[in-house]
Structure 1
Amino acid sequence: MYIPFDQLPPQARLWIYQANRPLTEAEQTEIKPLLERFATDWSSHGRGLQASAQLLHKQFLVLANNESATAASGCSIDKSVNFVRELEQHFNVAFFDRTQLAFLKDGNVEMVGMQELKAKVAAGEIDENTLYFDTLVNNYGDLQAEWPKPARQSWLSRYF
């Protein structure tokens, strides 16, 4: 069962997939109905999930499930991963590259490779107040309250 993204309860579980590039307007227009269809049909052991899906900042695919209604099972999570992999192929974009970090700078998402991080911190291009898109946020309430958040409030704090 599809739930509009802004109507999810705070405890709804999230899976955030970060694209390696911004999606074009045409791609966003094409992907939105696919996301809604997937959320509508997403199930766990034959029981429909109270699910939603959303694109944020042109670069983040967020799948969500109200776990208090029906928990996602391993099989249903596998279905979601397969769905995201299909999107990767169709749109020629990578959603599973964990070597890139995303920051909000001047209103835009800036991608920084893990291998570049120390140099960017040393040069002052990234500091403790730079807003970081932590893809490990796992519930809707935290996404609403603190996403993106200052790098010092994330696992990146060790670099400052």
Structure 2
Amino acid sequence: MYIPFDELPPQARVWIYQASRPITEAERAEIKPLLQAFATDWSSHGNDLQASAELLHNRFLVLANNESATASSGCSIDKSVNFVRELEQRFNVSFLDRSQLAFLKDGDMELVSVGQLKDKVTAGDINKDTLYFDTLVTNYGDLQAEWPRPAQQSWLSRYF
């Protein structure tokens, strides 16, 4: 069962997929109904999920489920990953490559490869207060309140 993204409860579980490139407005217009259709049909062991999906910042695909209504399962998560793979093929974009990290600097998104991160921190290009789009955020409340968040408040804290 589809619910609008902005009506998700704070505890709703989210999965964030970062696109390898910005999603164009034309692609966004084509993807939005696909997201709603997927969320409408998404189920776990035959039970409809209270689900939603959204594109944020023309770069992030967010799938969500209200776990307090119906918990997702391994099978439902597999369905979502297959859906993301279908989007990748259809739009020639990667959502499953975790080798690029997205930061917000001076109002612009900057991608840094995982391999470059240590050098960027050492050079001072990225510091503990640099805003980071942490794709490991797991619930809607944190996504709304703390995203992007200072790098030090994420798994990147070990670099500072």
TM bucket normalised to smaller? over 0.9
* SS of residue paired to 1:20: coil
Within-5 A mapping of 1:8-19: 8-19=8-19
Q: What CA distance in whole angstroms lies between the structure 1 residues aligned with 2:95 and 2:124?
A: 28
Deviates more, 1:36-45 or 1:115-124: 115-124
> Taking structure 2 as the reference length, what is the TM-score of the superposition?
0.97
Say if 1:118 and 1:159, in contact at 8 Å, map to a contact too: yes
In structure 2, the partner of 1:109 is: 109
* Partner amino acid, structure 1, of 2:22: P
Q: What CA distance in whole angstroms lies between the structure 2 residues aligned with 1:19 and 1:75?
A: 24
* Partner amino acid, structure 2, of 1:7: E
Q: What CA distance in whole angstroms lies between the structure 2 residues aligned with 1:24 and 1:105?
A: 21
In structure 2, the partner of 1:32 is: 32
In structure 1, the partner of 2:155 is: 155
1:20 Cα offset (Å): 1.0
Q: What CA distance in whole angstroms lies between the structure 1 residues aligned with 2:120 and 2:104?
A: 14
Q: What CA distance in whole angstroms lies between the structure 1 residues aligned with 2:39 and 2:106?
A: 32
Q: What CA distance in whole angstroms lies between the structure 2 residues aligned with 1:134 and 1:40?
A: 26
In structure 2, the partner of 1:87 is: 87
Q: What CA distance in whole angstroms lies between the structure 2 residues aligned with 1:158 and 1:41?
A: 40
In structure 1, the partner of 2:142 is: 142
Q: What CA distance in whole angstroms lies between the structure 1 residues aligned with 2:108 and 2:3?
A: 28
Say if 1:20 and 1:93, in contact at 8 Å, map to a contact too: yes
Aligned length: 160
Q: What CA distance in whole angstroms lies between the structure 2 residues aligned with 1:159 and 1:45?
A: 41
* SS of residue paired to 2:17: strand
CA RMSD after TM alignment: 0.8
Q: What CA distance in whole angstroms lies between the structure 2 residues aligned with 1:105 and 1:20?
A: 18
Residue deviations 1:50-102, cap 9 Å, x none? 00000001000000000111111111111000000000001111111111111
Deviates more, 1:150-159 or 1:86-95: 150-159
Structure 2: any 5+ residue segments left out of the alignment?
none
Q: What CA distance in whole angstroms lies between the structure 2 residues aligned with 1:155 and 1:70?
A: 29
* SS of residue paired to 1:53: strand
* Partner amino acid, structure 1, of 2:59: Q
In structure 2, the partner of 1:96 is: 96
1:106 Cα offset (Å): 2.0
The question of 1:52 aligning with 2:52 is answered yes
Once superposed, which parts of structure 1, at least 4 consecutive aligned residues long, lie more than 6 Å away? none
Q: What CA distance in whole angstroms lies between the structure 2 residues aligned with 1:135 and 1:26?
A: 24
